[in-house]
Structure 1
């Protein structure tokens, strides 16, 4: 399963997801993080694949998930 998380460090919802991942320990090793504020390619990919510039966005095998609570719940159930 491929997990890509698109974030912006100034976004409190993104930091909520990142903190939850940190609390999960080894789960973070399976998630590739992309900072759209410092990586133009990541921003472009987020918009092209997800259809919008909203963060946080977790792509699970290419399918986007946007709400921080949904992302956290999914990660806790699946990682």
Structure 2
């Protein structure tokens, strides 16, 4: 499963998701800061449809809303 988190530093909702990731010890997520990379921002718009973060792409399908992302991460722990 491919997991990619689109975020930007200073976004409080992104921070909630990143806190969950850090607390769970996950290492299977690729990070994309949309304020640091125009390519990442463009991909978020093209494939996600909106410029909202946080956005977790799960096998190239976007999931928005920090609470939904956190719930998904908790329901799908990283395989050891």
Q: TM-score, normalised by structure 2?
A: 0.93
Post-superposition Cα deviations, 1:5-28, rounded to whole Å, max 9, x if no partner, equal 000111100011001100001x1x
1:40 matched to 2:44: no
Aligned to 1:67: 65
Structure 1: runs of 5+ lacking an equivalent: none
Higher helix share: 1
Aligned to 2:49: 51
Structure 2: runs of 5+ lacking an equivalent: none
Q: TM-score, normalised by structure 1?
A: 0.94
